[in-house]
Structure 1
Amino acid sequence: MTTDERNTGWTYLMDMDGVLVHEDHLIPGADEFLTELQAAGTPFVVLTNNSIRTPRDLRARLAQTGLDIPEEAIWTSALATATFLRTQRPNGSAYVVGESGLTTALHDIGYVLTDRDPDYVVLGETRTYSFEAITTAIRLIERGARFLATNPDATGPSREGSLPATGSVAALITRATGREPYYVGKPNPLMMRSALRAIGAHSEHTLMIGDRMDTDVVSGLEAGLQTILVLTGISTRESVEMFPYRPTRVIESVADLVGRTANPFE
């Protein structure tokens, strides 16, 4: 990539947790960074593998931390999953284990949610996984339903510590059925590409900012994006060396990009 190409204007994709916020707390500098992008009219999308909340709910959550992000700039694994299903099997049916972020996304593409011979079992994230719902999912997959999951994250954060997440429950279902799910969310680059299509952006002038080498950076690389790793979340400078690939740049936090969003590599 030449210097001239780097000055042509960027689109930013960025993870949410670990980049902009920790749980319900603003990461210092994130508000200034987003304000600068908005003032310059720079397109950006906030990405999250969490499928629990709708973009409207996430917008309200982020507003409480001091971040003003429009709904259309928020892209979840639930929306990516719905987009995938709309292209694969339009107007189909699904049995969903998840919450409103996922059920709303599927309703919006015309899917029928049912436990009677659905086309798919779609597993998302919830704070109240039910043994009954998991058992139903197992039996439907045994009868031929296709198995889809919003993301492979094994755990999620809480104030008390880690919580089992979609990937852990998917492993349980796989052990019971012998069927592996297709994961739509990060690190599948499909999530990046669907976000780019949603805003009409192109990979050659897009940056991915994330805090995890094993999801954010690798999915950005595989989608053809430049990548920036921030050290305000999961990955550290030391852990970067454990991977066979590297981000384009490593910075302490998005605060380091304030005043440099037009050319973040100078």
Structure 2
Amino acid sequence: MDHESDQATRAVLEPRHPVGSPEGELPPGGDDPIMPGDHFIIDLDGTLLRGGVATEGGQAFLRGVEGRFVLVSNNSRDVSPSLSAKLRRVGLDIPAERMVLAGEETIGFVASRFPGARCLIAASPTLRHHARRQGLAPVTERADVVVLGRDTSWSYAKLMLLANEVCRGAVLIAANPDLTHPGNDGLIVPETGSLLAAVEAASGVGATHVIGKPAATLFVAALERLGSARHDTIVIGDNPLTDRAGARALGLRSLIVDADRLGGQPNLADLCDRLAPINSA
């Protein structure tokens, strides 16, 4: 890969952190209705799952929209088959072919844009293995591309390595911009966006691409998987800054849920009650 020819596209950028950042603004408007014949793009963390436990009404809701949904998640550690198996163990039956995951899509994007590239992948072993299967060459130095996911083995030494690789000229690509996702008992779980913020701050270079929500990539992939049109597809999620903002940007309807019904928002059990008369109509 010719680093010099790509200098213009790797100019120092303002870090982009729309999720959970002080600059993030809630998209205007409220919740949209579920309509007869709708297809569903459904979020995972905070919506169907929280802290490794299925949320109230999660599996019942999936049954109610069976054959008409795709899971779209900023998950940047798993691939679809492994995540499907994990979810089955907590009572959520979602086939791998009904998943669009940020980490998996990021590896696919890099493989198509930079085939055979030397990649320094700060992510899970699962994603590194997936990268090899996609023809990429995971390395520990002199990378063409730095790929960033939710790396639970993060360290100061790794930050130093990534920052210097980016300063040397490697392209920086992140799986998602999320700063955190919700864990058990109100705990926050640091996400890819927090690690991205550190790399951008240390290197002074912004990511050229951030693949996950609220960007369009995952939503467009979900629409293709569903075979649905935008007017008959609704996004169900817990985060207005990713789920609603991404939906609005593509002209999709959205509905925000909260597992604990905070702020008067419904949870998935409540949506099951709304689905019943629609499905029987």
Q: TM-score range by the shorter chain?
A: 0.7 to 0.9
**2:159 paired residue number:** 134
**1:45 paired residue number:** 70
- Report the more deviating stretch, 130-139 or 170-179: 130-139
**1:59 paired residue number:** 84
1:193-204 correspondence runs (5 A) = 193-204=220-231
Q: Distance in 1 between matches of 2:81 and 2:200?
A: 32
**2:269 paired residue number:** 255
**1:211 paired residue number:** 238
TM-superposition CA deviations, 1:183-210 (whole Å, max 9, x none): 1111112221123334544333221100
Q: 1:58 offset after TM fit, Å?
A: 1.7
Q: Distance in 2 between matches of 1:33 and 1:163?
A: 25
Q: Distance in 1 between matches of 2:202 and 2:166?
A: 10
Match among 252, 255, 263 for residue 225 of structure 1: 252
Match among 158, 162, 166 for residue 192 of structure 2: 166
TM-superposition CA deviations, 1:42-97 (whole Å, max 9, x none): 2x111221211222222222112211111111221112212322442333331100
Q: 1:213 offset after TM fit, Å?
A: 0.7
Closer, same or farther: CA 221–100 of 1 in aligned 2, 3 Å: farther
1:176-191 correspondence runs (5 A) = 176-181=202-207, 182-191=209-218
Whichever residue aligns with residue 45 of structure 2, its letter is D
CA RMSD of aligned residues (A): 2.6
CA contact (8 A) 2:46 2:182 kept: no
CA contact (8 A) 2:39 2:226 kept: no
**1:32 paired residue number:** 60
Q: Distance in 2 between matches of 1:262 and 1:89?
A: 49
**1:106 paired residue number:** 131
Whichever residue aligns with residue 101 of structure 2, its letter is T
Closer, same or farther: CA 210–233 of 1 in aligned 2, 3 Å: farther
TM-score, scaled relative to structure 1:
0.81
Q: Distance in 1 between matches of 2:108 and 2:170?
A: 19
Q: Distance in 2 between matches of 1:106 and 1:224?
A: 32
Q: 1:117 offset after TM fit, Å?
A: 3.0
Q: 1:263 offset after TM fit, Å?
A: 4.6
Q: Distance in 2 between matches of 1:233 and 1:191?
A: 27
Q: 1:230 offset after TM fit, Å?
A: 0.9
1:7-26 correspondence runs (5 A) = 7=36, 9-26=37-54
Whichever residue aligns with residue 97 of structure 2, its letter is E
- The SS at the match of 1:59 is helix
- Report the more deviating stretch, 163-172 or 198-207: 198-207
**1:245 paired residue number:** none
CA contact (8 A) 1:12 1:45 kept: yes
Q: Which consecutive residues of structure 1, in runs of 5 or more, have no partner in the other structure?
A: 1-5, 238-250
Aligned residues: 244
Whichever residue aligns with residue 67 of structure 1, its letter is L
Q: Distance in 2 between matches of 1:235 and 1:82?
A: 36
TM-superposition CA deviations, 1:207-252 (whole Å, max 9, x none): 1100111111101111221111112279735xxxxxxxxxxxxx51
Could you say which structure has the greater relative contact order, defined with CA pairs below 8 angstroms and 6 or more residues apart?
Answer: 2
Whichever residue aligns with residue 115 of structure 1, its letter is T
CA contact (8 A) 2:56 2:259 kept: no
Q: 1:34 offset after TM fit, Å?
A: 0.9
- The SS at the match of 1:53 is coil
Q: 1:122 offset after TM fit, Å?
A: 0.7
Whichever residue aligns with residue 221 of structure 2, its letter is S
1:79 and 2:107 are equivalent in the alignment? no
Q: Distance in 2 between matches of 1:103 and 1:235?
A: 38
Q: Which consecutive residues of structure 2, in runs of 5 or more, have no partner in the other structure?
A: 1-34
Closer, same or farther: CA 112–202 of 1 in aligned 2, 3 Å: farther
